[in-house]
Amino acid sequence: MSDRSRRHLFLDILGAFICTTGFSRIRTAPTDQSNGRLAELCVIARRRGTLQNAVIDVWAGQVGQLDVSELPQPFGRVVVWDDVRGSGALPTEIARVLFAIEEHFGIKCDLGSNAFAHIGHISETFLPVDAFLQAFRSTRGDATGQRIAIIDLSSSGLTRLSWMHIIPSLRSYYTIIIGVDFSAPALCELDVAFRTPHGLCARALETMHACDYWLLASDKSISGQDQLSADERSFEFTRAICGLCECLAFAQHDIDTAIAAVAKQRFASFGVPA
């Protein structure tokens, strides 16, 4: 059987499974009628890390330059996949998203266990991440010790859901939130909304400063080169995030020193609590 045939068979089986059993584990909200036959869909999936005395999870959207699949095993990975799909075949659409998360991010999804799906309008008062984090709190082995979320703020999805919406919910589980964004000064020439010198808009700056700590990467800081190709940038940015995770894993409680040390090596700028 070809890979294409296997994929279609997998999607058909998984779609049928969701039709018969999975919707008890999928939350729904009122749909936005202005979208016609389209519906907002959000799937959050996590693969736990293997650290014994701490939790360090890297959060990313489905669109970004971080190669989540390359993160070392000790560190957890969480993918927020928010999208707009046809409302006429939502079980199949959810199945496709679950398959893509496993294929591209290395997270094998089990709805109701390490993955959660939400269909319908996403608002600040109704976020799928709230229900997902409830499962974190009830997971044995995640209840004690330092819990750190590293968010790739440069990544995103395709709906109105933003990291600024998600960060307040993360505080109910994580003890420290670290935001990492990417400098894009070329954007300053395209739109005055992007501010010099790093090409970040007001919303991006607000989100970055909503974190407990923040780091800003650039082509120069992660590679020593002024300009990288997309593949080179992804490789070097992923290395920088891995280095950040490893530094934090050995930091114990001196997070300020760890952030400053890794920032000096791989990042253009950083911020710590006053």
Tell which wins on pLDDT, 129 or 99: 99
Task: Out of 5-14, 27-36, 126-135, 162-171, pick the least confident.
Answer: 5-14
Nearest of 117, 7, 107 to residue 58 by alpha carbon: 107
Angle at 176 between CA 254 and CA 98, to 5 degrees: 130
Give the start-end residues of each E strand in 133-264.
146-152, 176-182, 213-217
Q: Provide the b/e sequence for 246-260 (b: ≥16 CB within 10 Å).
A: bbbbebeeebeebbe
Give the three-state DSSP class for 194.
coil
Tell which wins on pLDDT, 132 or 80: 80
Calculate mean pLDDT across residues 123-131. 62
Q: Which residues pair with 82 in a beta bridge?
A: 42
* CA dist., res. 15 & res. 23, Å (int): 11
Q: Which residues pair with 195 in a beta bridge?
A: 200
HSE at residue 242, side-chain half, CA atoms within 13 A, is 16
Angle at 110 between CA 107 and CA 86, to 5 degrees: 90
Calculate mean pLDDT across residues 163-192. 82
Tell which wins on pLDDT, 56 or 250: 56
Q: Which amino acid is at 88?
A: G
What confidence tens digit (pLDDT) does each residue in 171-183 have?
988 999 999 999 8
Q: Which residues pair with 42 in a beta bridge?
A: 82, 118
With tokens 């307040």, the residue in question is 168
* CA dist., res. 121 & res. 270, Å (int): 35
Cβ–Cβ < 8 Å for 120, 41: no
* CA dist., res. 249 & res. 80, Å (int): 23
| pLDDT bucket at 16, cuts 50 / 70 / 90 | very low
Calculate mean pLDDT across residues 121-125. 57
* CA dist., res. 81 & res. 146, Å (int): 26
- Rounded to two decimals, what is the model's pTM? 0.83
Query: pLDDT > 90: what percent of the chain?
Result: 47
Residue 17 predicted with pLDDT over 80: no
